[in-house]
């Protein structure tokens, strides 16, 4: 399928179809990832896994996710976002269904890793497609809408999975969401089209990544995102179990708290994108402020002792835990150039997801050793604190993209 020529500053109506399908694919992998949180206790009881051991399943997923982010962005710049987003989402959905048939710990960890390997590519593919179809001045809003997928996935999983577990068992949730992922993948294959940064270029070229390897600002952005996702996905992975075991709320109540957490983020992400667009794309300072608020709200949540307090803090925590991500993502094409946006998005997100990979095991060990609800959340807060400090070193307009990408009009097309 040939790309449709796009140019910097041009608003093509089809861009909204691209955004919708990219968002739908990213939402499904976010649902697949977030299903583990509310299902973890039931899976652990079924397989005979200790509380601390549950973190290994999440780490298995994120190991695969980091690997696919590192390679998926390169594949996106080479083969095109449409092919990458459709094929990998379809296979990830298949492994979700297989995880629902898990009968052993080793098999479960292996399937989680396989889900992660194929689920990690749709992020960089989506960023690439949006960067092709939306001019720079509109990317804050577009990335804000796109990134609602991660928080919406948390909402959907926590609203549906606890009830599915009560009525049909934890296996059903993996079967249902796996099948839905495969359906969305088929829609992406038939309805998505790649854009091109140049009307007369259509050849597929292997991306040249030398400029990215020398880009100091992308490196700092990657490390800062590591700290942010340490807090975000540490909360998603462990908050249900911590509230159930540490504060003795019911699984359905814990799911409601995390759903509120996610709903607030769904509303806030497009809004922060619009704000950054209105103020001329100044995203560094906003990111630092949001990460600071994330530290404070995590510590406040760690001091809460009852359901009412959790309910009050959850929306503020949800906003702080998510709205830094569209700001960071919108910075990526500006620092890398549109031609290498997929590779840059994949590489930075691989750094970011290392936080997601490590934190489940670390948090499980901390809570198992201390039994302290507050210390668990203080451990989470250390991540965004690190991210806030590192963002101070990012030069928002200091990193020039590769020469061929400065205008966005001379990059090669991705078929």
Domains annotated for the chain, with CATH where assigned, are 13-196+214-399 (1.20.1250.20)
**Of the candidate ranges 115-129, 252-266, 344-358, the one whose mean pLDDT is the lowest:** 344-358
pLDDT surpassing 50 at residue 284: yes
pLDDT for position 197: 52
Q: How far is CA 397 from CA 93, 115, 146, 281, in A?
A: 39, 37, 23, 10
The radius of gyration computed from the CA coordinates of the chain, to the nearest angstrom, equals 20
Residue closest to 276 by CA, chosen among 337, 221, 331, 319: 331
**For the segment 74-83, what is each residue's pLDDT rounded down to a tens digit?**
888 888 889 9
Q: Among candidates 333, 323, 298, which has minimal Cα distance to 124?
A: 333
C-alpha of 414 from chain center = 24
**What's the pTM?**
0.71
pLDDT at 346 over 80: no
Across the chain, mean pLDDT equals 82
Write down the pLDDT at residue 180.
96
Which of 131, 91, 124, 119 has its CA nearest to residue 35?
119
40-72 burial string, b = 16+ CB within 10 Å, else e?
Answer: bbbbbeebebebbebbbbbbbbbbbbbbbbbbb
Q: Which residues make Cβ contacts (< 8 Å) with residue 125, sequence separation at least 6? A: 22, 25, 72, 76, 81, 82, 84, 85, 88, 342
DSSP state, 283? Answer: -
Q: What is the pLDDT of residue 373?
A: 85
Average pLDDT over every residue of 350-374? 82
Range among 20-29, 134-143, 145-154, 399-408 with highest mean pLDDT value: 20-29
Q: Provide the sign of the torsion angle of the four alpha carbons 344, 349, 352, 354, taken in this order.
A: negative
Tokens linked to 109:
């960890």
Instruction: Decide if pLDDT at 415 tops 50.
Output: no
- Percent of the chain residues past pLDDT 70, beyond the cut: 87
Q: Give the pLDDT band of residue 124 (cuts 50, 70, 90).
A: confident
Q: Do 53 and 103 contact (CB within 8 A), yes or no?
A: no
Query: What tokens does 86 get?
Result: 């459709």
Q: How confident is the model at residue 115 (pLDDT cuts 50, 70, 90)?
A: very high
**Distance of alpha carbon 39 from its chain centroid, rounded?**
19
Q: Could you tell me the pLDDT band of residue 88, with boundaries at 50, 70 and 90?
A: very high
Query: Which of the given ranges, 189-203, 318-332, 341-355, has the highest pLDDT on average?
Result: 318-332
């Amino acid at each position: 399928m040939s790309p449709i020529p796009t140019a910097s500053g041009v608003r093509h109506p089809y861009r909204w179809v691209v955004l919708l399908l990219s968002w739908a694919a990213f939402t499904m992998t976010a649902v697949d990832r977030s299903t583990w949180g509310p299902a973890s206790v039931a899976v652990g009881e079924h397989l005979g896994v200790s509380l601390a051991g549950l973190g290994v399943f999440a780490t298995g997923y994120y190991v695969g996710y980091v690997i696919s982010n590192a390679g998926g962005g390169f594949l996106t710049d080479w083969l095109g976002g449409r092919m990458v987003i459709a094929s990998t989402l379809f296979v990830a959905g298949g492994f979700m269904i297989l995880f629902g048939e898990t009968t052993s710990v080793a098999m479960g960890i292996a399937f989680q890793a396989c889900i992660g390997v194929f689920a990690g590519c749709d992020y960089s593919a989506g960023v690439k497609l949006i960067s092709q179809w939306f001019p720079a001045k509109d990317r804050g809003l577009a990335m804000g809408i796109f990134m609602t997928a991660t928080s919406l996935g948390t909402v959907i999983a926590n609203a549906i999975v606890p009830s599915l577990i009560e009525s049909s068992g934890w296996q059903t949730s993996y079967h249902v969401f796996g099948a839905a992922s495969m359906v969305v993948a088929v829609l992406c294959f038939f309805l998505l089209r790649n854009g091109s940064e140049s009307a007369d270029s259509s050849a597929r070229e292997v991306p040249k990544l030398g400029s990215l390897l020398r880009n100091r600002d992308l490196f700092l952005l990657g490390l800062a995102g590591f700290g942010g996702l340490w807090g975000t996905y540490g909360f998603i992975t462990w908050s249900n179990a911590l509230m159930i075991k540490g504060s003795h709320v019911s699984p359905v109540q814990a799911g409601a708290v995390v759903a509120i957490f996610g709903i607030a983020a769904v509303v806030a992400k497009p809004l922060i994108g619009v704000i950054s667009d209105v103020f001329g794309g100044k995203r560094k300072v906003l990111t630092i402020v949001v990460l600071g608020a994330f530290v404070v709200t995590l510590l406040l949540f760690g001091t809460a002792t009852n359901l009412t307090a959790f309910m009050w803090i959850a929306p503020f925590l949800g906003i702080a835990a998510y709205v830094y991500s569209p700001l960071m993502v919108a910075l990526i094409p500006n620092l890398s150039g549109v031609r290498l946006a997929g590779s840059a998005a994949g590489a930075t997100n691989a750094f970011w997801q290392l936080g997601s990979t490590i934190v489940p095991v670390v948090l499980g060990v901390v809570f198992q050793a201390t039994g302290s609800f507050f210390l668990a959340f203080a451990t989470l807060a250390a991540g965004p604190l690190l991210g806030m400090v590192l963002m101070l070193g990012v030069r928002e307009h200091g990193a020039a993209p590769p020469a061929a990408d400065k205008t966005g009009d001379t990059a090669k097309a991705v078929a």
